[in-house]
Amino acid sequence: MRQVTRDELALDPLWVARRLLGCELRSNSPEGEVGVRLVEVEAYRGLDDPASHCYRGRTERNAVMFGPAGHLYVYFVYGMHFCINVVCLTDGVPGAVLLRAGEITAGHDLARSRRPAVRKESQIASGPARLAGVLGITREHNGIDLTDPASPIRLVNGSPVAEDDIRSGPRVGVAAAMDLPWRTWVDGSDAVSSYRRGARRRVQARA
């Protein structure tokens, strides 16, 4: 399959979010390869999005989001889980798409071994933490270029999703700008995570 290019990601996160549905993220490690077809994502802008990590400006933690499009932004949340994002827009202008859920397309046994407590096969990569877990992605992968053919983690085109099969709604669990319909998913996929409305209190921003 053709690898997604940087130019295809150097656009507004709201557009890139829809573009990513149906694409595959493939992660290679010494244990083997796992592939996931993306079925749920969330768009985050930068300085104009109060739910974004970049809302208050550039820091050492969020620096990848200010870099060129096509890189992976990985962060640790709640002291337990990693979340993975695809950086969008252009160098110096922050924005990203949080990858929320996917369907396993390759490396099923390895994916299952990384999430043994999940009962339903369709739910192995449902939710940001599970998705990162089955792909074996941790903080050490922060900044990886997904558009580089030699990268251990690559973003490739998959089966296109018809516009009639795409749904949008509020983002999950954020405490700011919680009603913006910037979460996008493939209608009918069993891997799509459950919606949980955020509370109006001061919590950690997302991407």
| Segments making up each domain of the chain, as ranges | 6-186
Question: Which candidate, 164, 147, 145, 172, places its Cα nearest to that of 40?
Answer: 172
* Summary mean pLDDT of the chain: 91
Q: Residue 204: its pLDDT value, please?
A: 47
Count CB atoms within 10 A of the CB of residue 52.
Answer: 25
Higher pLDDT, 9 or 177: 9
Fold assignment, 6-186: 3-methyladenine DNA Glycosylase; Chain A (3.10.300)
> Residue range 23-29: average pLDDT?
97
Q: What percent of the chain stands above pLDDT 70?
A: 93
Comparing 46 with 17, the larger pLDDT belongs to 17
Q: Average pLDDT, stretch 168-193?
A: 89
3-state secondary structure of 169: strand
Q: pLDDT class for 199, splitting at 50, 70, 90?
A: low
Question: Could you tell me which residue, 23 or 177, shows the higher pLDDT?
Answer: 23
Q: State the DSSP code for 126.
A: B
Do the Cβ atoms of 46 and 55 come closer than 8 Å? Answer: yes
pLDDT of residue 198: 54
Q: How many other C-beta atoms can be found within 10 angstroms of the C-beta atom of residue 117? A: 5
CA quadruple 96, 100, 105, 106: dihedral, nearest 10: 80
Across residues 91-113, what is the average pLDDT? 95
Distance of CA 93 to the CA centre of its chain: 18
Distance CA 15, CA 8 (A): 10
Quote the pTM value. 0.91
Residue with tokens 């997604």: 4
pLDDT for position 176: 78
